[in-house]
Amino acid sequence: MTDLWEERKKALENSYFYKHEKELIEKMREEHREQLIRELCRNRCPKCGQEIVPMEFRGVPLDKCAQCGGVWLGPKDLQILAEKDHRTWFEHWFKSEEK
């Protein structure tokens, strides 16, 4: 009788560890997949997927896609550009239209 109980305990223990290890492996795969996607997308245009190249406009570093022409600014780059020459292109783009 004790052999049946011992076998049952071992089976439940094996089942527990199997499920636990399976969850850990799936979690590791998901983390690896996300990291791989980030690495493949780094320095790529979010619109067309082509490589973006760094450039400089009026002393502010930007990223530009050679394929579609998209330009990406850093967090404070638009503010820096606006402070340099706010009365020309900045007002033209962002000034609210008065009717």
- Model confidence at 63: pLDDT above 60: yes
- Model confidence at 38: pLDDT above 70: yes
Sheet with 52-57, strands from edge to edge, namely: 52-57, 60-65, 71-72
What's this model's pTM, rounded to 2 decimal places? 0.45
Q: Report the alpha-carbon distance of residue 53 to residue 96 in Å, rounded.
A: 32
Question: Which one is predicted more confidently, 33 or 42?
Answer: 33
Q: Report the alpha-carbon distance of residue 46 to residue 58 in Å, rounded.
A: 24
12-30 average pLDDT score: 91
- Per-residue confidence band for 95, with pLDDT thresholds at 50, 70 and 90: low
65 closest CA partner among 81, 78, 41, 48: 48
Given a contact cutoff of 8 angstroms between Cβ atoms, the answer to whether 27 and 35 are in contact is no
Reported as a single tens digit per residue, the pLDDT across 2-18 is: 688 888 888 889 899 99
What per-residue confidence (pLDDT) applies to 23? 94
51: which strand partners? 44
